[in-house]
A and B are shown apart, each in its own frame.
Chain A
């Protein structure tokens, strides 16, 4: 089945040590999103790519960066993770048309020691 795949499922890093989360998709979708979801909260959009165009949310910390080397892959880089960055990180994709649904991966649970 066509899917959105996130690796790893669980990631542990040390305070201040850079970490990269990975997302790949076989749906050939133009748009890829990264969300942060803290415990018992709604997912919060960090940024998205429309093809190669990067769109950052106004309140996304500078500590969070993203790369999309090709249609299939998108990475979330956290340059200096703090304790407050511990969360579930969700990747999603959607097609070009504005009314199309978003498809989510299983997420990466990030823990900070």
Chain B
């Protein structure tokens, strides 16, 4: 069964700092990995999607990398702002031959707080 772990569980940084969120998964049989943002009491907003054949994706100040063979992904946020404060979740979609075919398995999330 696929397991996804996110480190750290919580992170507090001053505004302007660059930061890295980590995600690891146990089964490398995946179609893709998605990073989501969740504001308190809200649904999930998709930030970046990396297909299994890709190494990274960028959107504005966000850059996500994927090393499928080692089961790791990072989300890099440049020049953090107070508006970036939220919970960040990573999720992997299992592919054929894996333990979680077709299913999205989520990590527990990293709670990010950016202080002004």
From the candidates B45, B89, B93, name the one contacting A98 in the complex (CB within 8 A).
B93
A-B pair count, CB < 8 Å, reads 53
Task: Give the segment of A65-73, A79-87, A103-111 that binds chain B.
Answer: A103-111
User: Could you say which interface size class chain B belongs to?
Assistant: 20 to 34
Main SS of chain B's interface residues?
A: strand
Chain A nearest Cβ from B109, distance in angstroms: 7
Q: Which B residues are in CB contact (< 8 Å) with A6?
A: 43
B55 adjacent to chain A (CB < 8 Å): no
Q: Which B residues are in CB contact (< 8 Å) with A41?
A: 108
Q: Tell me if B34 and A101 are in contact (CB < 8 A).
A: yes
Main SS of chain A's interface residues?
A: loop
Q: Which B residues are in CB contact (< 8 Å) with A103?
A: 46
A28 adjacent to chain B (CB < 8 Å): no
Q: Tell me if A102 and B104 are in contact (CB < 8 A).
A: yes
* A89 to B91 CA separation, bound complex (whole angstroms): 17
